[in-house]
Structure 1
């Protein structure tokens, strides 16, 4: 699956993965307000065996299929939004 990744301008190391470029329709409004302005970062082919820096590829794929998006937040020891 091709996925599109957006970085938050409001929160460092917060990323939003989408299955369709620029289609934020599945992302809840409250989440978009917390995420802030989304800046396109990259697109790539996501497979279950692909290694990602801070996420599990199978979990990301599952969230994209079930929810229509995947939110990657910074490690828990960072401050929340």
Structure 2
């Protein structure tokens, strides 16, 4: 892993096949450690951003520490789309104001 004193230069790719599916990889390694079956399912990767990750950084659905650990272990971190049922439950749980 390319670390700069606990930091990782990370590139994020979005899937061309599945909405809200993202691959996080070490910028210097790129996609070389991604298994071919995963790339086939992921579709053509579209680069969306490069960022410096630290273990303390909080991302929308995970932490920098989790992403860095996965990249160290597997060569990538795969962020899956949220389950549709959870999304609908969140909408249901959102308080609404009744107006009469």
Q: Structures share a fold, TM > 0.5? A: yes
- Per the alignment, residue 56 of structure 1 pairs with 63
Q: Deviations over 1:8-34 (max 9, x none)?
A: 011000000010257211111100000
RMSD: 1.5
Which one has a bigger Cα radius of gyration?
2
List structure 1 segments (4+ residues) > 4 angstroms apart after TM superposition: none
How many residue pairs get matched? 78
Distance in structure 2 (CA, Å) of the matches to 1:45 and 1:36: 25
2:11 maps to 1:4: yes
Distance in structure 1 (CA, Å) of the matches to 2:20 and 2:29: 19
Question: SS of the counterpart of 2:49?
Answer: strand
Structure 1 residue ranges without an equivalent (≥5): none
Structure 2 residue ranges without an equivalent (≥5): 1-7, 86-100
| Higher RCO by CA contacts (8 Å cutoff, separation 6 or greater) | 1
2:22 maps to 1:35: no
Q: Deviations over 1:14-65 (max 9, x none)?
A: 0000102572111111000000010000001100111101122211010111
Give the TM-score of the pair, scaled to structure 2. Answer: 0.72
Structure with higher strand content? 1
Of 19, 29, 32, the residue aligned with 1:25 is: 32
